[in-house]
Amino acid sequence: MLRNINQPQLCNGTRLAIKKLLNNVIEAIILKGKYKGDDVLIPRIPMIPTDVPFQFKRLQFPVRLAFAMTINKSQGLSLSVCGINLENPCFSHGHLYVASSRVGKPSALFVYEQGNQTKISCTIK
């Protein structure tokens, strides 16, 4: 979510899984937090940009698309930014190596583990 619509249930940053896309509403399930598993409806809302010299209004959904893939699917890819979710442990040390070697620079690698998002810091010689 990109906007606060129905606080505290639908707030900025709420993670959702889309069930159905319709013309004027999105049906989704909340993935994390106190309302995990709840079905919600997200309407199109008017957006009025302020960073342009003229005014206009458009209706759009207040959501941002995000992707996820398995470690096996990422093998061979080069990514500009990579996040690794370690809530469930990797199958082997080889899986962790493949996941962490998808980016060219260590500053673009983020690891999520048990409630904390931490940045991996290492030096390359």
DSSP 52: S
For the chain, the average pLDDT equals 82
Mark whether 39 and 78 lie in a shared domain.
no
| Domain that includes residue 36, residue range | 16-60
pTM of the model: 0.54
Mean pLDDT of the region 46-68? 85
User: Would you place residue 120 in the very low, low, confident or very high pLDDT band (cuts 50, 70, 90)?
Assistant: low
User: Would you place residue 29 in the very low, low, confident or very high pLDDT band (cuts 50, 70, 90)?
Assistant: very high
Mark whether 20 and 56 lie in a shared domain.
yes
Mark whether 50 and 77 lie in a shared domain.
no
pLDDT in the model for residue 116: 56
Distance between CA atoms of residues 61 and 53, nearest Å: 23
Q: Total structural domains in the chain?
A: 2
113: helix, strand or coil: strand
Give the max Cα distance, the chain. 55
pLDDT in the model for residue 69: 80
Query: Nearest Cα to 114, choosing from 91, 87, 96, 83?
Result: 87
- Residue 49 is assigned to a structural domain of this protein: yes
- Residue 43 is assigned to a structural domain of this protein: yes
Q: Are 41 and 57 in contact (CB under 8 A)?
A: no
Query: What would the pLDDT profile of 66-119 be if each residue is shown by its tens digit?
Result: 777 888 888 888 888 888 887 777 777 778 888 888 888 888 888 877 765 555
Region label for 80, one of left (φ > 0), alpha (ψ between -120 and 50) or beta (otherwise):
alpha
- Residue 95 is assigned to a structural domain of this protein: yes
